Structure 1
Amino acid sequence: MQDEPILKVVNLKKQYGPGCQWCSNGHESIFEKNRCLRCGTVYACNDLSFELYPGEILGVVGESGSGKSTMMKCLYFDEEVTSGAAYIGTYDDGETNVFQQSSQQKRHIRNTILGMVYQNPVLGLKMDFSSIGNIAEKMIAAGDRHVERMENRSKELLTHVHIPLARIKDEPKKFSGGMQQRVQIAKALSNQPPILLLDEVTTGLDLSVQASVLDLIKTIQQKFGISMIVVSHDLAVIRMLADRTIVMLDGKIIEQGLTDQILENPQHAYTQQLVYSLI
């Protein structure tokens, strides 16, 4: 792992609602979890700060509603942040807050620097396009117009994620959930992004399929040296994949550190509860 982070997030905040004089000042007494009881504003992400290093897998764990998926949507520009900054080492030497870039620049970052794998493949794939067409679409969005190169790259990636070549012209709607996730991973990798975002990618899959998808993620990370953020509510997934882990609760980071450290010696009461429920 190198010293300079490839991604640095500083005080990321995402709120739904205008806020009021009480919750804007952080009065704990008027909150129910991360929702203001006076005005109804929900603080989905509340001042999140963390780093991701080259070649690292960073795990993000927390219960449903903790803000994990909202954070990922903000990082991939699916959602506008309320405030905060993110700096990517391979974009403008890590000097520019990417949240403040134009929509055109954000599209460029999405298509060339970031890859995203959603929990629901419908969000990441065009279900009526062929699998090879899905990958080509992402390459075209990044400016590629070379048909043969796109076809070869698509075949290479689909083979890598164990989609039989006989089925690369099939639409993802004809595939099982595990195969759809594999096509999504191949699409996310199409432009060789240095950062891959994976949001609950094994939720809802059979255990044997989960294991093969996790094994694929680990293999890809080792082969390509991609930095990854892996979100899960399942500590077993985090244990298998992540070098370091962030624990989220009610829109805040309550604990972070080396995964082994967090699993063997959790400090926060909520993390202790998570860990002991796994044992």
Structure 2
Amino acid sequence: MQDKPVLKVVNLRKQYGSGCDHCDDGHEVTWEKNSCPECGTVYACNDVSFELYPGEILGVVGESGSGKSTMMKCLYFDNEVTSGEAYISSYNNGETNVFEESSQQLRHIRNTILGMIYQNPVLGLKMDFSSIGNIAEKMIAAGNRNVEYMENRSKALLKHVHIPISRIKDEPRKFSGGMQQRVQIAKALSNEPPILLLDEVTTGLDLSVQASVLDLIKTIRQELGISMIVVSHDLAVIRMLADRTIVMLDGKIIEQGLTDQILENPQHEYTQQLVYSLI
């Protein structure tokens, strides 16, 4: 693992509501999970900080409402952050807070540096486009105009994620959930991004389909060396994939460390409950 992170996030905050003197200034308030009882402001992510290193898979685990998906949407610029910083080593040498960049620059980062696989494929795919068209769209957004290259690249990616060549012109709406996720993965890989974001990608899939998607993710990491953030509420998924793990609760990181350490010797009471529920 190299010293310089490919992604560094500092004090990421996403709140819904204006806040008040009590919650803004850290006064003695008895919080109701992640909301202020005085003004009702919800802190979906509250001063989240972490680093992602080259070739690493970072797991993010926590219950529903812990802030995992909100954090991912902020990192992919689907949600505008309230405050915080994020630095990407392959963008301006990691010296620019990308959260402060223009919408045009954010589109560039989304299309060339980041890949996103959503829990719900409808968010990541155009269901009425062909599968090959979905991938080409991502390459066109990144400035590619070579039709032959895009067609060959799309076919190679769909083959890589085990979509039959006979079905590459089918629309994703005709596919099973597992096949839709594999098309999403192919699309996310189209511009060779150094960072891949995966948000609950196995939720709702049959166990056998889950296993094939997880195997694909591991293969991609081994062959391409892409850094990944994998969000899941399922510790078994995190155990299989992640080198390090972050545990989130009520919008905050409450524990982080090597995945083996987190799972074998959890320190926080909530993490202990998570781990023991697996046994």
TM-score of Structure 1 vs Structure 2, range by shorter chain = over 0.9
Q: 2:74, 2:81 within 8 Å by CA — same for their partners in 1?
A: yes
Per the TM alignment, residue 163 of structure 1 is displaced from its structure 2 partner at its CA by 0.1
Q: 1:30, 1:38 within 8 Å by CA — same for their partners in 2?
A: no
Per the TM alignment, residue 26 of structure 1 is displaced from its structure 2 partner at its CA by 2.4
Aligned positions of 1:210-249 closer than 5 A: 210-249=210-249
| Cα displacement string for residues 54-81 of structure 1 (whole angstroms, at most 9, x for unaligned residues) | 0000000000000000000000000010
Q: 1:13, 1:45 within 8 Å by CA — same for their partners in 2?
A: yes
Q: Secondary structure at 2:72's aligned position in 1?
A: helix
Q: Which runs of 5+ in 2 are unaligned?
A: none
Q: 2:61, 2:245 within 8 Å by CA — same for their partners in 1?
A: yes
Report the Cα distance in structure 2 between the residues aligned to 1:126 and 1:27, rounded to whole angstroms.
46
The answer to whether the aligner puts 1:14 opposite 2:14 as a matched pair is: yes
The answer to whether the aligner puts 1:82 opposite 2:82 as a matched pair is: yes
Report the Cα distance in structure 1 between the residues aligned to 2:101 and 2:211, rounded to whole angstroms.
38
Q: 1:161, 1:183 within 8 Å by CA — same for their partners in 2?
A: yes
Q: 2:194, 2:226 within 8 Å by CA — same for their partners in 1?
A: yes
Report the Cα distance in structure 1 between the residues aligned to 2:28 and 2:125, rounded to whole angstroms.
41
Q: Secondary structure at 2:4's aligned position in 1?
A: coil
Runs of 4+ in 1 over 6 A off after TM superposition: none
Q: Secondary structure at 1:159's aligned position in 2?
A: helix
Q: Secondary structure at 1:255's aligned position in 2?
A: strand
Report the Cα distance in structure 1 between the residues aligned to 2:29 and 2:236, rounded to whole angstroms.
34
Report the Cα distance in structure 2 between the residues aligned to 1:137 and 1:152, rounded to whole angstroms.
14
Q: 2:22, 2:28 within 8 Å by CA — same for their partners in 1?
A: no
| Cα displacement string for residues 147-175 of structure 1 (whole angstroms, at most 9, x for unaligned residues) | 00000000000000000000000000000
Report the Cα distance in structure 2 between the residues aligned to 1:218 and 1:118, rounded to whole angstroms.
17
Q: Which runs of 5+ in 1 are unaligned?
A: none
The answer to whether the aligner puts 1:136 opposite 2:128 as a matched pair is: no
| Cα displacement string for residues 92-130 of structure 1 (whole angstroms, at most 9, x for unaligned residues) | 000000000000000000000000000000000000000
Residue in structure 2 matched with residue 123 of structure 1 by the alignment? 123
Question: Using a 3 Å threshold, how does the CA distance of structure 1 residues 249 and 113 change in structure 2: closer, same or farther?
Answer: same
Indicate the RMSD between aligned Cα atoms, in angstroms.
0.6
Q: Secondary structure at 2:21's aligned position in 1?
A: coil
Per the TM alignment, residue 196 of structure 1 is displaced from its structure 2 partner at its CA by 0.1
Identity of aligned residues (%): 86
Q: 1:60, 1:231 within 8 Å by CA — same for their partners in 2?
A: yes
Q: Quick one: which amino acid aligns to residue 72 of structure 1? A: M
Q: How many residues align?
A: 279
Q: Quick one: which amino acid aligns to residue 62 of structure 1? A: G
| Cα displacement string for residues 232-273 of structure 1 (whole angstroms, at most 9, x for unaligned residues) | 000000000000000000000000000001000000000000
User: Normalised by the size of structure 2, how large is the TM-score?
Assistant: 0.99
